[in-house]
Amino acid sequence: MPSILYLDQSGQLGGAELMLAEIARQVGDPAHVILFDDGPFVAYLEQLGVSVQVERVRLGVTKSGGWLASANAVPALLRQVRTIVRHARRFDLIYANTSKALVVGALAAAYLRKPLVYHLHDILDRSHFSPMNIRVLTSLARFFAARVIANSQATADAFVAASGDRSRVEVIYNGFDPTPFLTDQDGERVATRVSLETQSSSFVTIVVGRIARWKGQHVLLEAARSQKDWTVWIVGDAFFTEEDMQYKRELEEIASTADLAGRVKFCGFRKDLPTLYSAADVVVHCSTAPEPFGRVIVEAMLSARPVVASNAGGAKEIVRSDTTGWLVAPGDFCSLRETLLEIERNPGLAALRAQAGRSDALRRFSIDAILGQIRTSVETCVF
Environment class of residue 189 by beta-carbon count within 10 Å: exposed (0-12), middle (13-18) or buried (19+)?
A: middle
Q: Which stretch binds ligand UDP (CB under 6 A): 41-49, 102-110, 204-212, 325-333?
A: 204-212
Task: Pick from 270, 334, 346, 380 the residue near ligand UDP by CB under 6 A.
Answer: 270
Minimum CB distance to ligand UDP smaller for 92 or for 299: 299
Q: Minimal CA–CA distance to 231: which of 197, 200, 263, 191?
A: 263
Report 299-328 residues binding ligand GLC (CB under 6 A). Answer: 314
Site pattern 276..295 for ligand GLC (x: CB under 6 A): ---------------xxxxx
- DSSP states of 268-323 as a string? ES-S-HHHHHHHSSEEE---SS--S--HHHHHHHHTT--EEEESSTTHHHH--BTT
Minimum CB distance to ligand GLC smaller for 18 or for 182: 18
Task: Pick from 210, 263, 353, 358 the residue near ligand UDP by CB under 6 A.
Answer: 210
**213 interacts with ligand UDP by CB under 6 A:** no
Q: Minimal CA–CA distance to 1: which of 96, 109, 64, 92?
A: 92
Task: Pick from 2, 14, 115, 330 the residue near ligand GLC by CB under 6 A.
Answer: 14
Distance from the Cα of residue 273 to its chain's centroid: 15
- Nearest 5°: the CA angle 129, 130, 136 is 90
Hey, how many other C-beta atoms are within 10 angstroms of the C-beta on 244? 17
Minimum CB distance to ligand GLC smaller for 121 or for 193: 121
Minimum CB distance to ligand GLC smaller for 16 or for 350: 16
Alpha-carbon distance 268 to 248, whole Å? 11
Minimum CB distance to ligand UDP smaller for 43 or for 349: 43
Q: How far is the CB of 373 from ligand GLC (least distance, A)?
A: 14
Minimum CB distance to ligand GLC smaller for 16 or for 21: 16
Task: Pick from 259, 269, 331, 356 the residue near ligand UDP by CB under 6 A.
Answer: 269
Partner whose footprint covers residue 336, from ligand UDP, ligand GLC, none (CB < 5 to 8 Å by kind): none
Report 247-266 residues binding ligand GLC (CB under 6 A). Answer: none
- What is the dihedral sign for C-alpha 154, 160, 164, 166? positive
Distance from the Cα of residue 12 to its chain's centroid: 12
Across the chain, which distance is largest between two alpha carbons, in Å?
Answer: 63
Q: Which stretch binds ligand UDP (CB under 6 A): 11-19, 67-75, 161-169, 197-205?
A: 11-19
Alpha-carbon distance 275 to 350, whole Å? 19
Q: Which stretch binds ligand UDP (CB under 6 A): 9-17, 86-94, 112-120, 375-383?
A: 9-17
Alpha-carbon distance 154 to 149, whole Å? 12
Minimum CB distance to ligand UDP smaller for 109 or for 238: 238
Partner whose footprint covers residue 325, from ligand GLC, ligand UDP, none (CB < 5 to 8 Å by kind): none
Q: How far is the CB of 213 from ligand UDP (least distance, A)?
A: 13
Alpha carbon distances (Å) from 340 to 88, 326, 343, 350: 50, 9, 5, 10
Q: How many residues interact with ligand UDP (rule CB under 6 A)?
A: 17
First to last CA, the chain: 10
Residues at the site binding ligand GLC, with contacts judged by CB under 6 A: 14-16, 19, 121, 151, 174, 291-295, 314
Residues at the site binding ligand UDP, with contacts judged by CB under 6 A: 14-16, 18, 208-210, 235-236, 269-270, 273, 293-296, 299
